[in-house]
Amino acid sequence: MYRRQDRGDRVRVISLHDDEQLLADIATAFQHGAQAIVLSLVSCRTGRRLPVEAACRLARQAGAVSIVDCAQALGQIPVDVRALGADAAVFLGHKWLHGPLATGAIWVADPGRWTPGRVGWRSRVDHDLDGHLTLNDDATRFEIGTVDVAAFVGLQQALAVHRALGPRVAERLTELRSRVLRAVADLPLDLLGRAGDPTGIVVVQPRSGGAAQIVQRAWDLDRVVIKHVGDQSMDAIRISFWALHQDGDIDRLSGSLAKQLSVHA
């Protein structure tokens, strides 16, 4: 997104508040002339499922472009790209889909509306030596160079597995999320997301600070992997879990956090 600044565009970052305030800030940005919005379906900072449908409606009303990042959503929750109402949706294959690294995809509602910044022999129907170029009408206009067929097949297989699993992933994530929330409720931690969000991401903030040190000790002493999420506005711990995690994994996490928080105190 920030690469647009190199082209002379102005980029504004909207802070993540509650849904009403977020949508109000987005509406204000469009009133002030914003021409595009890029937002996540699921926030990696809080695990919240954001109101992207409403945000995309605001974009359409303003004649602006909307792009939804589904990297933290696909593989956790059902994603209907058409129902989102976005002009484009993108995702990665290696996160919650558990597919190959360096894979992903973009879905576009109207491929002809977009002109790729780079083109290759796969992108075009025809060209001549005078510089006339005719791009493909479909999404292949965005493909350049040689395709890594093995990686693409791997991603296709990952998607097939998820289709076969159906709602079982979401159901298991809901069970594990309840277990995680019960565990952190007994500790001096503040939940930064919402208890009812349907994701395998729980973000908590230690009341006495020191999130980075807690994360490091959890790995060094207990081999428990959690992540520090920190900047000027937060000093928090992100807990991520998926359908293949066991109840015992959550119990280990709970025990490690309790120990590290006790040490920090």
The alpha carbon dihedral of 147, 149, 150, 156 has a sign of positive
C-alpha torsion 54→56→57→60, nearest 10: 170
Instruction: Considering only residues 147 and 251, tell me which one the structure prediction assigns the higher pLDDT.
Output: 251
Domain edges within the chain: 3-103+148-165, 168-257
Q: pLDDT tier at 1 (50, 70, 90 boundaries)?
A: low
pLDDT tens-digit map of 55-87: 999 999 999 999 999 999 999 998 999 999 999
**What is the fold, at CATH topology level, of the domain defined by 168-257?**
Aspartate Aminotransferase, domain 1 (3.90.1150)
**What is the fold, at CATH topology level, of the domain defined by 3-103+148-165?**
Aspartate Aminotransferase; domain 2 (3.40.640)
Q: Tell how far CA 87 is from the center of its chain.
A: 17
The two tokens of residue 146 are 């040689």
What is the number of other CB atoms lying within 10 angstroms of the CB of residue 35? 13
Q: What is the mean pLDDT of the chain?
A: 90
Most confident segment among 3-7, 119-123, 160-164: 160-164
Question: What is the spatial distance between Cα 193 and Cα 161, in angstroms, rounded to a whole number?
Answer: 29
